[in-house]
Each structure stands twice: as structure tokens, then as C-alpha cells.
Amino acid sequence: MPEPLPMLPRPLDTRGRPLHDLRISVTDRCNFRCVYCMPRAVFGPDHAFLPRDELLSFDEITRLVATFTRLGVEKVRLTGGEPLVRRELPALVGQLAAFPGVRDLTLTTNGVLLPAQAAALREAGLHRVTISLDADDDATFMRLNDARVPVAKVLSGIEAAEAAGLGPIKLNMVVKRGWNEHAILPMARRFRGTGRILRFIEYMDVGHSNGWRLDDVVTADEILSTVGSEFPLEPMPPTKPGEVAERYRYADGAGEIGVIASVSRPFCGTCDRARLSADGQLYTCLFATRGHDLRALVRGGVSDEVLETTLRGIWEGRDDRYSEIRSAETVELPKVEMSYIGG
């Protein structure tokens, strides 16, 4: 692994937003077929996933992260697809954990493969995990994941992660009207007081395959009203500038929840995240229509200086604010799929 070079001045984009977080998709494959991300009608048996030689290697990812940390990235999140289907992932975690600039190394997963991998990931240097769980009853959850996976499989993953020391656990629940809004309160009841932080996510128009409609969005106000009807809530300050989740504590002290409201409460103004796809495309917005090919640069043998200059230029030219300008026209733009770019 190359030695990290000295920290450089942190670039600011055209709206004065710094570069702080990097999300890395390590695979476009997944063992779920969630209706809001990889619907089976689109991602069926004949779907062409990326060939192995088109994926960034661990060494290529590590080299890119070395440059990103020099430009100010402090948080790295591994995503997918489902990142745990990428072979030997703990080896990559170990390479990234060696960088002193990576202060927060995390992973988002559906949790099913955690019982077999949690201990190795923690030993390699992973700090914590975020686990997706969209309902706590089998009928709803299995309808959403469309892979016949029961809730118990995810609960086992949560327990394995906690046993390995990958906490505190954050749980992501995407809420889609007509599918699982009835599960909001049961999920709150199950996880309050457990030390696990439940975060409700508004259903978003990432890509085109999920058939997104504004009418399908259960807004943050509706979610908070539903939870607050049984458990009074109090707002909490963000843990850092640019945090995407609005935080609320239970008034009785039984923990906290979060709401990620990209649709009804856009947070573009403080967004400090870049996203790297599994095949090396850099995206500066979750709703981006195009990426920047970093794989070609890395495999073309460019110097670290050229790579750094390129990344700085991409970020300093960034002007993304999709959620602030969302309209009927922008919803129809050919955006990248969530399964390709990660959440």
C-alpha cells in the first residue's frame, strides 16, 4: 500500500461545500431484490452485472482513497449493491483502516451475511455498520426484499455485528406508501431502548427502475407524527455539519431516531459526499446523470499529482443541488441506479 502523502488544502465546490465523506460501491450485485432499489422485473436472471475485470481492484480503491484523504475525506463508507457479496472484503477494510486520515470507516449492508463476516470485518479495522431493515414482520419485509428473506436473518446479523463490536448499530428503514408505512410504529417499538438507532428514509427517485412517484413518498412530517403519537420526541442537534439525518430523542430517554428527508426537506446546501461506483466512476450527487471515469486514470498509469489535481478539479466544479430543484422534468432525467452507486 502506498504511504499517505501530506494533507492538502481541502477543496470547496461552487457552493462552498467541503469534501468530507466518500461512499464506495464495491459491487453492483445484491442478494436482495428490494422494490425501491433493484426490482426483480428489471434485475432478473438475464440482467448483465459488471464483469469482474471491470470492478476496481482493492489496490485501485486504496490508491484512490489515499488521494481522497489528502483532499479532506475523513469518513469512508463501503456500500453496494450488497458489499458483503464482494469476496475477501475484510482485506480491503484492512487496507483502508491503515490510513490515519480515515477517522470513520463504516459499511452499509442488509445484514444477512454478517454472522459469517462480522468478526473478521471488525478485526480488519471496520468501525461500525448500518443495516437495512424495512419492517419487522415477515409478510411486509419479504414482500419488500423480494428474496424470501425473513426478518430473523437480519436480526441475526444485527446481533453478530454487536457481538463483534461494530456498534452502535444504525438501522435504515426506507418508507414507501402502500408498502410499509404501517410498520413505522412497530419498528419504533421494537428498537427504542435497545441502543440501536432507527433511521427512517423517505422513498427517493434514484435511477429509473423503481418507478418512483411523489405520491409514494411518506414524508418526514408524517413519520415524526406517527412515532410522536405514541412516543413524544424532542429534536437533537446534528453530530457534525453536513449530517443527512435529522435526529430526535425520545422524551423519556429511551434513545433516538433519525429521519433522512431528501424529498421533503432537501439538505443539498450542506452535502459533503462523493460517491465512487464499483467500476470507478466518481459521482458528486446521489441523483447524478453522469460520472467521471477514475478507473481509466488509475489504469492508465497517471501520477499521484495528476490524480489529485483531477479530483480537486471535479469537486471544485461541483454545483449539484438536485433535491432543491426536483421537478417533473428532473425526475425523468437518466439518473444512475442506486444499486450501481450505493445509497
For position 24, what pLDDT does the model report?
A: 98
pLDDT in tens, 12-61: 999 999 999 999 999 999 999 999 989 999 999 999 999 999 999 999 99
What was the pLDDT predicted at 208? 65
HSE-CB at 91 with a 13 A cutoff on CA atoms is 9
Provide the b/e sequence for 320-343 (b: ≥16 CB within 10 Å). bbbbeebeeeeeeeebbbbbbbbb
Cα within 13 Å of Cα(226), Cβ side: 20
What gap in Å lies between CA 249 and CA 233, rounded to an integer? 6
Tens-place pLDDT, residues 293-342: 999 999 999 999 999 999 999 999 999 988 887 766 676 666 677 777 87
Q: Name the grid cell of 304.
A: 499521484
The domain segmentation of the chain, as residue ranges, is: 21-341
- pLDDT band, residue 240 (cuts 50/70/90): confident
Q: Which fold has domain 21-341?
A: TIM Barrel (3.20.20)
Q: Which SS3 state, helix, strand or coil, does residue 242 take?
A: coil
Report pLDDT digits (tens) over 89-135: 999 999 999 999 999 999 999 999 999 999 999 999 999 999 999 99
pLDDT in tens, 249-278: 999 999 999 999 999 999 899 999 999 999
CB 79 within 8 A of CB 343: yes
Question: What value does the mean pLDDT take over residues 193-214?
Answer: 86
Q: How far is CA 61 from the centre of its chain?
A: 17
The candidate with the shortest Cα–Cα distance to 108, out of 157, 143, 151, is 157
**Predicted structure pTM score:** 0.94
- CB-based burial of residue 215 (10 Å sphere; 0-12 exposed, 13-18 middle, 19+ buried)? exposed
pLDDT at 155 over 60: yes
